[in-house]
Structure 1
Amino acid sequence: MPPHSRLSYGADNYSPREIDNHGFVGNMHTSAMISVDGSVEMMCWPQFDSPSVFARILDARAGHFSITPVEESSCKQMYEPSTNVLHTKFYSERGVVRLLDFFHRQWEDYEPLYPWLIRRVCCIRGSTRIKMECFPAFNYAMENHETKIMRAPNYLQAEFYPASGSPHYILDAIPADGDISIPLEITRPSERLVDGGGITCYLELEEGQEITFVFRQNKLGPSVDYIATNLLDKLEDSTKRYWRAWIQQCTYTGRYREFVQRNALTLKLLIYEPTGAVVASPSFSLPEDLGGVRNWDYRFTWIRDSAFTIYALAQLGFRAEAVEYMSFIYHILKKKNTDGGINIVYSIRGDTEGLEEKELNHLRGYYDSRPVRIGNGAVNHLQLDIYGELMDAIYIYDKKCQPIAYDLWLEVRHICDYVCANWKRPDKSIWEVRGQNRNFLYSKIMLWVALDRALRIAFLRSLPCPKRIEWMDIRDEIYETIMQSGYNVDNGYFAQSFENIDILDAGVLVMPMVSFISPTDPRFLSTMDNIMKPLEKGGLMSNGLIFRYNNFAYEDGVGGDEGAFTMVCFWLVEALAMAGCRGYPKLISTAVSMFEDLARYSSHLSIYSEECSLSSESLGNCPQAFSSIAAIAAAHILDKALSVINDV
């Protein structure tokens, strides 16, 4: 049942839903996080990395847009099949109400994009009393505004004017017929962070009656004085057609088709259309541990995501997205730093503007998880592994999408020269630790990948490679160094770093996936065995979930606790499946069992966050691109492994 605190605005009584009790809608420019009881709990506007307009999940006073029955109701949420159109239904003895949420996407090329959040409420049985609340809190709840109501026959508008003078925001209320009374009222909560208030409205809906609320910004998108119901019907139809046409391009037809397609649709939501960049997550500062300090802003694009994103999209047949993302990467390579390297993270526009990490101390955080952060300090980190992921992306693109151009090859040569000159440096690696730099094994593996993929491209394409011998020598030197300095002979596992030879790290599970080592190599099999031991016995597994490392055994400079890491859980499935179809068939059943468990650790909408608690609750920012990419890859490899075993 939706708790009573959801039925009216009250900062003292409000309690946010669990992270996995939310759905997401978007238009590839921004997105909205919508709870199972009909409240927009987080939305940044008009782009993924713009300041928030609604952020109640981080603080009850930070803005929300809720549409909820007044009566106690049970609520269920689902996506319309093959789309990112969200349905939420409320069931009570008195009646049933359907809430349909979406951002418009144009079906025909000539259609303009209407950058609106559209919320359509329809009573489909009996009668229901609905309460609508729209309380924006602009600029992370730091900017006051003025609220006005514009009344017209059977059509009402509320307008919100930010104090900064930026174009005002509009809330339209459009009934499908003239028999619905729409009593909009301006309300000012007693406890608030900003002045300006919001709009409250009680509605009595009878069976068959429908009303639509549209949240938009003046001067953004097509100019519209009056929104007619037939326009809304057209936008809804166009949006559904767009998503269905897109997912029909998916070439995967295996055992996990529905699972793979839903994760692909989630990944598509995270693409910023103007540049082709993929945001790590559209949310910010959702905690990796309730009440803890591990609260980060992921509304940016990480270079390391590139290889995995292009791999996932290309494997599923979505080559256009891979081409757009590679164009984004190429423009980044053209703007290298003065030392010849690149940053690990960029804004969705390909620069570093807005990445300075700040703490919003006026916000309480999700269940008092402080500090609330925007920006990301990792922008200044040295993380050498990114060159391996970058080169793997270019190699996959050249192999599965289209041959790379000569100008891009020249950039590849510059990157390889940088790798040769810097591979011995310690760094902060994939986990972006905030402690001392180390010679992390994951980074060394990826530096080997960088040179290996460049050499493969040069060989396959017969491209000029003046330093081929130097690259080969350094590639082999990196390999030997990893095997000699990164393997704990006494305990039988690849370690976290050369300095921390007694620390396990799940990042090394990537080894067979990047063809660094055979999945059946005794050293790797022994490493997997150690990782799969319980935490209390020196491993990284608990309740079938994998932690990236034991943060009580290794001080990463952040502090606090964290959950199991979704991505490395799927990496283990992939590694087990690869070993299983190469002489160890019993590992296939282990991989299948683990994969089925992980499928149940997702939300009710098959959405994955960054981490998962041992009690199965989602933790960290959600949805997480890396998690969806790893889920797709694991399903693909596991399906292939099962086919190999069944054919034997």
Structure 2
Amino acid sequence: MQSTPIAEYALLSDCRSSALVSLHCSIDWLCMPDFDSQSVFGQLLDTDCGHWCICPREIVQISRKYVKEAMVLETTFVVKSGTVVVTDAMALGMGERGHDLGRRSPHALLRSIVCMDGHVHVDFEYSPRPEYGLVLPLLKRVSGGLESRGGSSMFLLSTPLDLEIVESAARTEFTLNSGQALHFSLQHRSILDEPLSSWSQTEIADHSSDTVEGWQTWSQLHQNYQGPWKELVAHSGRVLQALTYFPTGAIVAAPTTSLPESVGGDRNWDYRFTWVRDASFTLEALWVAACPDEALKFFNFLAEAALTQVRKGADLQIMFGIRGEHDLTERTLPQMRGWRDSSPVRIGNGAWNQRQLDVYGELMEAVFLLRQHLNDLDELTREFLVSIVDAAASRWQQKDQGIWEIRGEPRHFLYSKLMCWVALDRGIQMAELLQAADSVSSWRQTREEIRGAILSQGWSQKVGSFSQAFGTDDLDASSLMIPIVGFLPADDARVLSTIDATVAHLTDQHGLVFRYVAQDGLSGKEGSFLLCTFWLAQAQAMSGQLDRAKETFAKAIGFANDVGLLSEEILPDTKELLGNFPQAFSHIGLINAAWAIFQRENGASEDDHDITIRTSAMAQ
């Protein structure tokens, strides 16, 4: 059974694909050449599904960090006889700088080990298992390393070591003395591509240095946030960049699949896709912690992926593949037992064809954030955006599955109605840009109908809070979005009461926020949700409760692991990280909450910065 704590992993990325490396320097998750490719190392989910480990013996102490301003990992091992540093990275193309991260990725994993003092004995094990552990590849010695054949992909391990091959694994042990270093690379190619050549020690070292420089140049060009928690915000911005698929600008929700929300349960989903819901939150975070160029590219990807659906009258799909794929049909992988026997392991995501009406508002909010950069909208895109607003107007009264993709009967979820209101509100404010003046009157009327319904049917007098769904007393953290999207002022009595009710009834013993506690039709109990905790901090900051906002924020960031990565959820009893990892939404929440606190501390009003505080009609 695979039981390595999720918190012990660090992320590597070349802005096309990703790897997770454990505290003991085992690559336990690697998908190449893309985020959604089949894994070649899948030990994250099953001990029999492949890994690549370089780890010294007789360890006394382990520490690790990312190289400054780069997604390159350094792990330092102090052992009884000396000290070594292992450096891990996914190679960027030589000379990639600025906007180019991922443009010329060579699809290679880079690893180096350097003895800093004394002498160190090291174990080396390379055990590829392509196609999620289904394939036992043939390992063949070639000039400069080993070639792995099996399935539709081929891998070339460049190594100076003489490895012992036993079936589909290669092993050895070696000793490094002070000042000695070894470098390794693992290159991927399709069986249709030209054969690969192994890399020399110098070539691998050059790729490693250039990868560090590429990340650092990107950080220096794109990151200029100067508010509180500067390093955390900048690091979160790099994490979002690391989760970006360069060819399209899509950002995956997480680079993993089936890390559970409930240990031993079946709340295990594939997150290697892009959700429309994430759009506005992501764009705001990118603007604060990265660069407008990335935000524009992400928006263009979403618009192009969704255009054909809305034009033919279908519901706007809630999520897409990283290349814009629509069909994300879900299936299970019986050969993988799952992290801590949490099965099934799934690829694809069955939520792709759910009805979730909130996506109309989230997409229009993304447009609203970018409106100053969209002066030259072509007729097709303008038509598409108008149809989004019209769809929200015509469908807001229908039931759906809600923001949390509940796999039960459709309901009248408040958040879905709220985001339909957002779609209309932003459409009205951008009517000139959309050349939709003739629609404004009807849009205004519908916007007020939605507003009235939310205030009359979405408020629970019993709990003193806005509720999860019309006519219920169940609470839901998504109600915290009411002030964030500008539906009501943050100091409105109903908003303040909702904030208080969330703290009183939806937080665990550590002050972290649950999404909801009502039954959702699935077995098992999930942990508290970091994104919702950051929403609480953001709402508290906007309402002027700065001390409470800072306290809530501090509690949430306290659960980042040793290299600053956040999961989706926290198991209250053990404080363990749960869910797919690292989670883009959690890092997005961190950035946006930090920015809201910074704005409030500096006396910004709700109209001073329309990237942070959404302007809207806030009639009471």
> TM tier, shorter chain?
over 0.9
Structure 1 contact 27–269 (Cα < 8 Å) conserved: yes
Give, in whole Å, the separation in 1 of the partners of 2:247 and 2:515.
34
Give, in whole Å, the separation in 2 of the partners of 1:108 and 1:601.
33
Aligned partner (choices 80, 98, 101) of residue 93 of structure 1: 80
* Residue equivalent to 2:259: 286
* Residue equivalent to 1:210: 181
Structure 2 contact 529–569 (Cα < 8 Å) conserved: yes
Structure 2 contact 2–43 (Cα < 8 Å) conserved: no
Pairing 1:571–2:535 present: yes
Q: Give the drift of 1:222.
A: 8.8
Q: Give the drift of 1:466.
A: 2.2
* Residue equivalent to 1:183: 162
Task: Structure 1 unaligned segments of length 5 or more: list them.
Answer: 1-13, 175-181, 189-196, 581-586
Structure 1 residues 382 and 283: alpha-carbon distance in aligned structure 2, compared to 1, 3 A threshold: same
Identity within the alignment, %: 34
Structure 1 contact 565–611 (Cα < 8 Å) conserved: yes
Give, in whole Å, the separation in 1 of the partners of 2:548 and 2:430.
35
Give, in whole Å, the separation in 1 of the partners of 2:578 and 2:96.
38
* Residue equivalent to 1:640: 599
Pairing 1:601–2:559 present: yes
Give, in whole Å, the separation in 2 of the partners of 1:404 and 1:438.
39
* Residue equivalent to 1:323: 296
Pairing 1:168–2:158 present: no
* Secondary structure of residue in 1 paired with 2:106: coil
Q: Which amino acid aligns with 1:348?
A: I
* Residue equivalent to 1:583: none
Q: Which amino acid aligns with 2:515?
A: R
* Residue equivalent to 2:519: 555
Give, in whole Å, the separation in 1 of the partners of 2:330 and 2:153.
27
RMSD of aligned residue pairs (Cα, Å)? 1.9
Give, in whole Å, the separation in 1 of the partners of 2:594 and 2:235.
12
Give, in whole Å, the separation in 2 of the partners of 1:89 and 1:340.
54
Q: Give the drift of 1:323.
A: 1.6
Q: Give the drift of 1:539.
A: 3.9
* Secondary structure of residue in 2 paired with 1:216: strand
* Residue equivalent to 1:191: none
Q: Which amino acid aligns with 2:255?
A: P
* Residue equivalent to 1:11: none
* Secondary structure of residue in 1 paired with 2:309: coil
Q: Which amino acid aligns with 2:226?
A: T
Structure 1 residues 101 and 539: alpha-carbon distance in aligned structure 2, compared to 1, 3 A threshold: closer
Q: Which amino acid aligns with 2:556?
A: L
Task: Structure 2 unaligned segments of length 5 or more: list them.
Answer: 605-620
* Residue equivalent to 1:348: 322
Q: Give the drift of 1:344.
A: 0.5
Segment of structure 1 superposing worse, 508-517 or 306-315: 306-315
* Secondary structure of residue in 2 paired with 1:41: strand
Aligned ranges 1:356-371 → 2 under 5 Å: 356-371=329-344
Q: Which amino acid aligns with 1:160?
A: S
Aligned ranges 1:422-501 → 2 under 5 Å: 422-459=395-432, 461=433, 463-499=435-471, 501=472
Aligned partner (choices 520, 542, 546) of residue 588 of structure 1: 546
* Secondary structure of residue in 2 paired with 1:558: coil
Give, in whole Å, the separation in 1 of the partners of 2:330 and 2:501.
37
* Residue equivalent to 2:383: 410
Q: Give the drift of 1:15.
A: 4.9
Q: Which amino acid aligns with 2:563?
A: L
Give, in whole Å, the separation in 2 of the partners of 1:558 and 1:498.
21
* Secondary structure of residue in 1 paired with 2:437: coil
* Secondary structure of residue in 1 paired with 2:329: coil
Q: Which amino acid aligns with 2:601?
A: L
Aligned ranges 1:83-162 → 2 under 5 Å: 83-106=70-93, 107-108=95-96, 112-150=104-142, 152=143, 156-162=144-150
Q: Give the drift of 1:266.
A: 0.5
Structure 1 contact 293–559 (Cα < 8 Å) conserved: yes
Structure 2 contact 393–443 (Cα < 8 Å) conserved: yes
* Secondary structure of residue in 1 paired with 2:227: coil
Equivalenced residues, count: 594
Give, in whole Å, the separation in 1 of the partners of 2:314 and 2:266.
34
Give, in whole Å, the separation in 2 of the partners of 1:444 and 1:558.
24
Structure 1 residues 140 and 444: alpha-carbon distance in aligned structure 2, compared to 1, 3 A threshold: same
Give, in whole Å, the separation in 1 of the partners of 2:297 and 2:110.
28
Q: Give the drift of 1:541.
A: 4.0
Q: Give the drift of 1:644.
A: 2.7
Structure 1 contact 275–325 (Cα < 8 Å) conserved: yes
* Secondary structure of residue in 2 paired with 1:542: coil
Q: Give the drift of 1:254.
A: 1.2
